[in-house]
Amino acid sequence: MDATDTPDVALAQSGDESAFQRLVERHSLGVFQLAFRLTGNESDAEDVVQDTFLKVYRELKRFESRSSFKTWLHRVTVNCSYDLLRKRPRARLEPIETDGGEAGLRAEPEADASGQPDRVAYGSEVHRRIEAAMQHLSPAERTAFVLRHFEGRSLEEIGEALGLRLGATKHSVFRAVQKMRRALAPIARTAEWGS
């Protein structure tokens, strides 16, 4: 367990409210960032943060320190995000034909007055396509992708957060990466042509 969390976890498990508050303050930004990447929505992420810390407060006495507090907290965050995602209807994004005949995701580039409208338009399109492609991932794939590529987590940590064995974790990351590559392939070709 992280040395800075160890004393506060022990104190909070014995009922010390200020120790629990220190844990919340120390980890709330990380929980929010993870929840936002998983839900894609600030309001939903805020709800996940509240649900996460409520569950952690209720279950803290059962935490056995086999893994770090942060890893356990991320697993609770993932589970709360899954619960929220299951409740909302899945976004339906319309595939479109690209110049190469492959299906891509609809995205309208924008430009602004920054002096480099082509670069801004391309960056906006990339961002939108990533967000759209993330909506097409299953909750497990999305979580695996976010933890691996945004959070820099190891496969073991991802497996622990998802409750999966190493082989299933690798498969989830692989499927997510393949789907993201297919979704982003049309703009990658555009970038190659523009160079």
CATH of residue 181? 1.10.10.10
Give burial (CB, 10 Å; 0-12/13-18/19+) of 140.
buried
Q: What amino acid occupies position 151?
A: E
- Asked if residue 176 and residue 132 are part of one domain, the reply reads yes
Q: For 89, which DSSP code?
A: P
Share of the chain above pLDDT 90, in %: 38
Alpha carbon distance 159, 100 (integer Å) = 37
CB 35 within 8 A of CB 52: yes
Highest mean pLDDT: which range of 16-20, 78-82, 136-140? 16-20
Over residues 99-152, the pLDDT tens digits come to 444 444 433 333 344 446 555 555 667 777 777 888 888 888 888 898 888 888
The domain containing residue 167 runs over which residues? Answer: 95-194
Of residues 88 and 162, the one with the higher pLDDT is 162
What 3-state DSSP class applies to 102?
coil
Total-model pTM: 0.65
- Asked if residue 78 and residue 118 are part of one domain, the reply reads no
Residue 155 lies inside a defined structural domain of this protein: yes
Of residues 187 and 102, the one with the higher pLDDT is 187
Q: Which of 96, 93, 104, 99 is nearest to 185 (CA)?
A: 104
Alpha carbon distance 67, 183 (integer Å) = 35
Helix (H) / strand (E) element for 82: namely helix 69-87
- Asked if residue 155 and residue 122 are part of one domain, the reply reads yes
Q: How many domains does the chain have?
A: 2
Residue 1 lies inside a defined structural domain of this protein: no
Over residues 38-75, the pLDDT tens digits come to 888 899 999 999 999 999 999 999 998 777 899 899 99
**Domain closes at, from 43, 65, 87:** 87
